[in-house]
Structure 1
Amino acid sequence: MKITEHVQRAIEQKKTAFSVEILPPVKGQNIQHIFQTLDPLAELNPAFIDVTYHREEYVYKKHLNGLLERKSVRKRPGTVAICAAIQNHYKIDAVPHIICGGFDKEDTENALIELNFLGIDNLLVLRGDPIKSESTFIPEPNGHRYASELLEQIVNLNQGKYLDDELLNSANTNFCIGVAGYPEKHFEAPNFNIDLGYLKKKVDLGAEYIVTQMFFDNQKYFDFVDKCRAIGINVPIIPGLKPITTKSQITALPKTFHVDLPDDLANELVKADENKRVKEIGEEWIVNQCKELIQNEVPILHFYTMSKSDGFVKILKEVL
């Protein structure tokens, strides 16, 4: 089922659904690691499950002749296979993240063909972050610099347009394409309105739904939705949520994801003297966030689980 259909069903049933995002296991672990995370969540019937993609880091190996060879190292392989396993095992729609970094256009087309063969109908399209050795994002040769360019390639495939324009009787793919939205602005955008303009461009190109970056102040989400609607962005906007669970996240999450913590939340977290209390505060806060979003008839809540189910089952049982 398409994500847009999940949204419409939740609206018709007047019942908020939920979805989760997980990380692929690190190299050396197997699919059971994923199943252990998802088993308790799957019992609560998520609408869909996102699987992130982690771009390769590069290492340099020096040969005897003194030349350096750049070699990519993937620490979390398997997004496509994990999505197939999830759909087969749980009969729940899986949504792979498709990114620009690490792929040229032909690599992307081949990956999309495989996903189409596997019956995976939904995608979340992202530019992806720079790797640690890059100060700014650097695309692969003959790759995509922007998510909008990647989105355009997928839309072309949905219309049966492949890179080889001499193909005859080429089959259309049928992907439902999502993109990311930033209620507090993408950190690289010069201002909020320009960031909204980039998002509008992606919707005009064919994006059918938006999943937001995490936020801790619902008013920022409501304002974001209002501003999107005002400029003609009318696709579903699914809120992304994550509870704070450790003291280190008090500074790490704002730094990494460029989000603010409301004063009330930040003050309580700073006063907490141990992780157990931080986790309680974080869960209480997100429960209240969820209840307010549900009161405002948000059809789907999306949770960034970081591949940990403990805490989320409790939260979901309390709010849904």
Structure 2
Amino acid sequence: MTLSDQYRTEGCAVSFELFPPKTEEGIEALCLNVERLLQFKPQYFTCTYGAGGSSQRATLEVLKRVKEITNLPVASHLTCVGSTVEQLCEYLTQATEIGVDYIVALRGDPPKGTEEFCVTEGGLRYANELVELIRSNFPQLGIAVAGYPEVHQEAPDATTDLDNLKRKVDAGADIIITQLFYDNADFYRFRDQCEAAGIRVPLVPGILPVTNFKQAQRIAGMCKAAIPASLEVEMTRDDSPEHQFRVGVDHARQQTTDLMKNGVPGIHYYVLNRSEAAAELLDGLQTAGSAS
């Protein structure tokens, strides 16, 4: 099944994003959480890696384990940061050898301590160039790219950001997975803009169920996502872990049910290697897997 085919199923397709733990104990815990998430019949799992490619090898190890546990397709993140074209191709070769099915192709953030993205000599400058590289040299791999409902923090305006997204799609991307957002109105506005721009591939909203307000603030600051006033008021009303967890999960569940009612082809959950919040918000919902 191709990546775009994952979104031609009846119902709403679900996928989960992981990141590579630093210890063997962390990997074991991740595997347990993956097993718990299988009850929601996800279409695939993705795995990111550390800044500048610091945990690329661990990413492939995690994906290999996940594929063994689930027998599902898996996707690796891949960025242009710190890599030559030759190194990118080496990674893609290793990924295909262990059975990676899809790539989430990103330019990548500037390395920690720097403010601007710098092209590696012999490397790539933009994500659309990475998409072209994959499509030309590894045509069997599905390709996801990132979209930004609230505009990428480096883009001068929404029009420029949308033009950049269209270049990635025209280069051969199969689907778009969005940056997290807390207000569905931002996603619907973005969806309308993509439609008007002639972007026709599946647009998959990305949801992070936040379980404490400090986490929400930190992540919002990193990715330029606005926190709705109603969510801020409710989360700051009580700083107990139980209250914070419940409010965050309830908000993500409300986002999920509203997105499903409004016809999204799927939802990608950033689960931070934990299953509790995702399990709570998805319990009883009619996803693509539960509809089959």
What is aligned with 2:178?
A: 212
**Mapping 1:94-243, distance limit 5 Å:** 94-158=74-138, 173-243=139-209
SS in 2 for 1:43: helix
What is aligned with 1:293?
A: 259
Cα distance in 2 for partners of 1:54, 1:48 equals 21
Give deviations 1:182-220, integer Å, cap 9, x for gaps.
000000000011000000111111111000001111111
One-letter code aligned to 1:207: A
Cα distance in 2 for partners of 1:318, 1:139 equals 46
**Mapping 1:46-61, distance limit 5 Å:** 46-56=42-52
Q: Does the 8 Å CA contact 1:54/1:77 hold for their aligned counterparts?
A: no
Using the size of structure 2 for normalisation, the TM-score is: 0.92
Residue 140 of structure 1 and its aligned partner are, at CA, apart by 2.2
Q: Does the 8 Å CA contact 2:213/2:232 hold for their aligned counterparts?
A: no
User: Which of the two has higher C-alpha Rg?
Assistant: 1
Cα distance in 2 for partners of 1:295, 1:31 equals 36
What is aligned with 1:260?
A: 226
Q: Does the 8 Å CA contact 2:17/2:269 hold for their aligned counterparts?
A: yes
What is aligned with 1:22?
A: 18
One-letter code aligned to 1:151: V
Please tell me the root mean square deviation across aligned C-alpha atoms, in Å.
1.7
Give deviations 1:45-72, integer Å, cap 9, x for gaps.
1111010021348xxxxxxxxxxxxxxx
One-letter code aligned to 1:49: F
Q: Does the 8 Å CA contact 1:211/1:239 hold for their aligned counterparts?
A: yes
Cα distance in 2 for partners of 1:121, 1:194 equals 31
Number of corresponding residues: 286
Q: Does the 8 Å CA contact 1:3/1:176 hold for their aligned counterparts?
A: yes
Residue 230 of structure 1 and its aligned partner are, at CA, apart by 0.4
Cα distance in 1 for partners of 2:145, 2:67 equals 21
Q: Does the 8 Å CA contact 2:211/2:277 hold for their aligned counterparts?
A: no
Unaligned runs of 5+ in 2: 287-292
Give deviations 1:155-197, integer Å, cap 9, x for gaps.
2114xxxxxxxxxxxxxx4111110000000000000110000
Cα distance in 2 for partners of 1:56, 1:231 equals 32
SS in 1 for 2:186: helix
Cα distance in 1 for partners of 2:26, 2:221 equals 31
Residues 37 and 113 (structure 1), Cα distance of their counterparts in 2 relative to 1, 3 Å cut: same
More helix by share: 2
One-letter code aligned to 1:22: L
Residue 28 of structure 1 and its aligned partner are, at CA, apart by 5.3
SS in 2 for 1:96: strand
Cα distance in 1 for partners of 2:202, 2:238 equals 37
Cα distance in 2 for partners of 1:56, 1:310 equals 29
Cα distance in 1 for partners of 2:52, 2:16 equals 23
Residue 75 of structure 1 and its aligned partner are, at CA, apart by 5.6
Cα distance in 1 for partners of 2:220, 2:40 equals 30
What is aligned with 1:35?
A: 31
What is aligned with 1:81?
A: 61
| Structure possessing the higher relative contact order (Cα contacts under 8 Å, 6 or more residues apart) | 2
Aligned counterpart in structure 2 of residue 311 of structure 1, from 273, 277, 289: 277
Q: Does the 8 Å CA contact 2:49/2:55 hold for their aligned counterparts?
A: no
Using the size of structure 1 for normalisation, the TM-score is: 0.85
